Amino acid sequence: MDFALDEELRMFQKMFRDFAQNEIAPLAETLDREERPPLETLKLAAEQGFLGAPFPEEYGGSEIGTIGYCMMLEELGKVCMSTAMIIEVHTSVATMCIYLDGTEEQKQTFLEPLALGEKIGSFALTEPGAGSDAAALQTTAVRDGDDYVLNGNKIWIINGSIAETFVVFAKTEPAKKQERGAWGITAFIVEKDTPGFTVGRNEKMTGLHGIPVTTLFFDDCRVPAANVLGGEEKLNQGFATAMKALDYGRLGVGAVCLGVAQGALEAGVQFACEREQFGGPIALKQAIQNFIADTATEIEALRYLVYHTAWLVDQGQKYTKEASMVKLFGSEVADRAVNCMLQTHGGYGYIKDYPIERMYRDARVSRIFEGTNEIQRFIIAADILGEKGLKIRP
Ligand SMILES: Cc1cc2nc3c(=O)[nH]c(=O)nc-3n(C[C@H](O)[C@H](O)[C@H](O)COP(=O)(O)OP(=O)(O)OC[C@H]3O[C@@H](n4cnc5c(N)ncnc54)[C@H](O)[C@@H]3O)c2cc1C
């Protein structure tokens, strides 16, 4: 067992850290205040190969492996969760669907511009009536000549107004609906300017103000049959693609949360050393030391979980349960970290002059998106009980 980073990973870590500190951090407060995406830094990140970090070079990726990719997300998450999550969703779920299950032709056409960061990707599964029960989606796709005609709405779609390539999930076998289960759902690659496809306004959210989260409308939207993800042989099997990409996504969310927690801890430690009450820094008070010690311990545990899971991925091993653990634990560690560190700031933590106020609002949703933590607990328990021959339902 070797926990040491090799020379190449140390180099990547330094590069990500420098980039995050020098380019991403200075914009974080502005994005939050102006409620706009970081288009200028996304362009810079694309030039550095960040938007295709885990994909092979032959498709325009940087091929740095999942450990390197998680390091990147950790460093981005530390300074700006909005920027980190735009890149995470673009890479881990949207582009990953095409990489995992796209045909060779689709990879050449769609994956390369996404991996190069020439285009931003988006992943559209959730609907008003289909959240945790995502397979209950109602958007339909009906074959008509050389096209499929899509009708329905998607909600809360990250990157909605900045993406050019959308992976959209729709029912191709509505008659099978009564059987429940995920068969009958197909993934489509939908390009931004496709007639019948429109993007709604950006949602007003508690935090993550740098992320455009929108509704998508499909109104007799004609998508070429050639854009069925994986071709006709993957027809009706799109839900499996979504679940595989979400495994990778949940690891990505955990890596972002690791960064968020670390960023919060560093902010809290600095404040505690500077803020004086009762004649000395509050860092000398045991209550504050406990916040610091508990947060640091949880972060360390999370770090091992994230990088061990990333290692499993790079070894080609099964990691669905571990990805859910990373997402569950990571989001709860981040949420506790921002909470403790806001408390460490006292009243200063509740006003907008200190970044912890933004971090606190940003972190909360990590317990909800890419599958709520209640659903992650179900996935973990289902895996464990499944080994005992017990099949459980959500
Ligand atoms: C900011 C944001 C960005 C998002 N981005 C995207 C995106 O890019 N693409 C996309 O497709 N989706 C996206 N989503 C959707 C997100 O994945 C869903 O919100 C999430 O899966 C939960 O669905 P829901 O909100 O409908 O909650 P519901 O499913 O209605 O759940 C409500 C509550 O009930 C609990 N619950 C539900 N079922 C069970 C069960 N069986 N057992 C125990 N508890 C249960 C949930 O855990 C939750 O606490 C985003 C959401 C947000 C808020």
Same domain, 71 and 100: yes
pLDDT band at 342 (very low <50, low <70, confident <90, very high): very high
C-alpha Rg value of the chain to the nearest Å: 21
Give the contacts of 131 (CB within 8 A, at least 6 positions apart).
none
Same domain, 335 and 291: yes
CATH number at residue 64: 1.10.540.10
For residue 351, pLDDT beyond 80: yes
Instruction: Taking residues 2-8, report their average pLDDT.
Output: 91
Q: What is the largest CA-CA distance in the chain?
A: 79
**Whole-angstrom distance, CA of residue 207 vs CA of residue 1:** 40
Residue type, 199: V
* This prediction's pTM: 0.97
245-293 tens-digit pLDDT: 999 999 999 999 999 999 999 999 999 999 999 999 999 999 999 999 9
Which of 115, 136, 159 terminates a domain? The answer is: 115
CA angle 310, 316, 319 (to 5 degrees): 55
71-108 tens-digit pLDDT: 999 999 999 999 999 999 999 999 999 999 999 999 99
Please tell me the distance between residue 377's alpha carbon and the centre of ligand 1 in angstroms: 14
Please tell me the distance between residue 293's alpha carbon and the centre of ligand 1 in angstroms: 32
CB of 12 closer than 8 Å to CB of 49: no
**Whole-angstrom distance, CA of residue 141 vs CA of residue 375:** 27
pLDDT band at 2 (very low <50, low <70, confident <90, very high): confident
Which of 58, 81, 115 terminates a domain? The answer is: 115
Same domain, 68 and 145: no
What letter does residue 171 receive in the DSSP assignment? E
Same domain, 254 and 379: yes
Same domain, 368 and 262: yes
Same domain, 63 and 24: yes
pLDDT band at 178 (very low <50, low <70, confident <90, very high): very low
Task: Give the range of the structural domain holding residue 288, as residue numbers without chain letter.
Answer: 240-386
The answer to whether residue 391 sits within a structural domain is: no
Question: Is 370 known to be catalytic?
Answer: yes
Which of 189, 206, 237 terminates a domain? The answer is: 237
Please tell me the distance between residue 360's alpha carbon and the centre of ligand 1 in angstroms: 20
Atom of ligand 1 nearest to the CA of 160: 8
Total domain count, the chain:
3
Same domain, 157 and 210: yes
Q: pLDDT averaged over the chain? A: 97
Q: Is 394 in the pocket of ligand 1 (CB under 6 A)?
A: yes
Beta bridge pairs of residue 213: 158
For residue 180, pLDDT beyond 60: no
CATH number at residue 281: 1.20.140.10
Give the contacts of 2 (CB within 8 A, at least 6 positions apart).
none
DSSP assignment of 198-266 equals EEEEEPP-SS-TTS-EEEEEEEEEEEEGGGBTT-GGGTTBHHHHHHHHHHHHHHHHHHHHHHHHHHHHH
Q: Is 242 in the pocket of ligand 1 (CB under 6 A)?
A: no
The answer to whether residue 205 sits within a structural domain is: yes
The answer to whether residue 1 sits within a structural domain is: no
Q: What is the pLDDT of residue 101?
A: 98
> Which residue's CA lies nearest to atom 27 of ligand 1?
131
